[in-house]
């Protein structure tokens, strides 16, 4: 290879898809003293099960995890124990989910970032294929989220009374991962932070920029373990997956 060709190749930037895992919450709705993402399920913390799915997804190049500042050292030991090689940075989380994700975005190398896949640490049943499909949809459109069609009738309630009933045929339950081009997601967070805009997911912030979000249909198995009843369902799903693999 000539020196000229080698020089040109050195200028080529290899873009990478990066997962940002939100694991800085305290999990108060689950009860107990241990944050739910570190509670063991089938011999490993929930967050380890989640991270394994991203390890198995070839579309994801590296992982950034936000954890409570008091858990940083213990979490690093956990990644080594379970051979989670894609975890490149561990970032202390903020007081809110929005602040935590913003800290994660600031840890991203902007020159090499293509798609950012934001995922809840307590959704351990997402599949590598679901992650891959959502990332690829975001590569094509700029913004895509995993979601599940609503099966229940949804009602708006104020002061204990129904004010409106929604047509469920047009309603979907948002899940994660939620995937966006890096520059778009960063712009959405900058916009939200300057206006102190609250949000329970990233799609909401991107929607406020007028961007259309692509839907990738996910599975009802991709539950978020939040309450004690979710834990019981998680144990059943874990056993089912174990039986299939056997």
Tens-place pLDDT, residues 60-86: 999 999 999 888 888 999 999 999 999
CB atoms closer than 10 angstroms to residue 246: 5
Does domain 14-245 bear CATH number 3.90.550.10? Answer: yes
How far is the C-alpha of 235 from the C-alpha of 238, rounded, in Å? 5
**pLDDT band at residue 195 under the 50/70/90 scheme:** very high
Residue 203: HSE in the Cβ half-sphere, 13 Å Cα cutoff: 21
Residue 243 pLDDT: 66
Mean pLDDT, the chain, integer: 91
pLDDT digits (tens, 9 = 90+) for 34-53: 788 999 998 999 999 999 99
Give the residue, 39 or 4, on which the prediction is more confident.
Answer: 39
Q: Which residue has the tokens 């390890």?
A: 55
What is the rounded CA–CA span in Å between residue 103 and residue 99?
Answer: 6
Whether 11 has a pLDDT exceeding 90, the answer reads no
180 vs 4: which has the higher pLDDT:
180
Q: Residue 9's pLDDT is what? A: 44
Cα→Cα distances 133→156, 207, 225, Å: 32, 20, 23
Give residue 27's region: left, alpha or beta (phi > 0; psi -120 to 50). Answer: left
| Model pLDDT for residues 145-179, shown as the tens digit of each residue | 999 999 999 999 999 999 999 999 999 999 999 99
**What is the DSSP code (8-state) at residue 85?**
T
- Between 7-11, 102-106, 186-190, 197-201, the lowest mean confidence (pLDDT) is in 7-11
């Amino acid at each position: 290879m000539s020196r000229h060709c080698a020089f040109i190749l050195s200028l080529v930037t290899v873009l990478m898809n990066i997962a940002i895992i939100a694991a800085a919450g305290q999990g108060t709705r689950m009860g107990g003293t241990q944050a739910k993402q570190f509670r063991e399920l089938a011999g490993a913390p929930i967050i380890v099960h989640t991270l394994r799915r991203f390890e198995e997804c070839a579309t994801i190049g590296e992982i950034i995890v936000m954890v409570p500042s008091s858990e940083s050292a213990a979490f690093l030991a956990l990644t080594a124990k379970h051979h989670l090689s894609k975890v490149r940075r561990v970032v202390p989380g903020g007081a809110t989910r929005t602040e935590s994700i913003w800290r994660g975005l600031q840890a991203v190398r902007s020159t090499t970032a293509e798609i950012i896949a934001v995922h809840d640490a307590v959704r351990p049943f997402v599949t590598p294929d679901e992650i891959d499909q959502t990332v690829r949809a975001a590569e094509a459109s700029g913004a895509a989220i995993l979601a599940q069609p609503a099966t229940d009738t949804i009602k708006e309630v104020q002061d204990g009374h129904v004010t409106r009933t929604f047509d469920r045929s047009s309603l979907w339950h948002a899940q994660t991962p939620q995937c966006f081009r890096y520059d778009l997601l960063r712009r959405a967070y900058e916009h939200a932070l300057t206006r102190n805009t609250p949000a329970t997911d990233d799609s909401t912030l991107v929607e406020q920029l007028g961007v259309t979000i692509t839907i990738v249909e996910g599975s009802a198995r991709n539950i978020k373990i939040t309450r004690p009843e979710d834990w019981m369902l998680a144990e059943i799903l874990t056993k089912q997956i174990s039986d299939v693999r056997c």
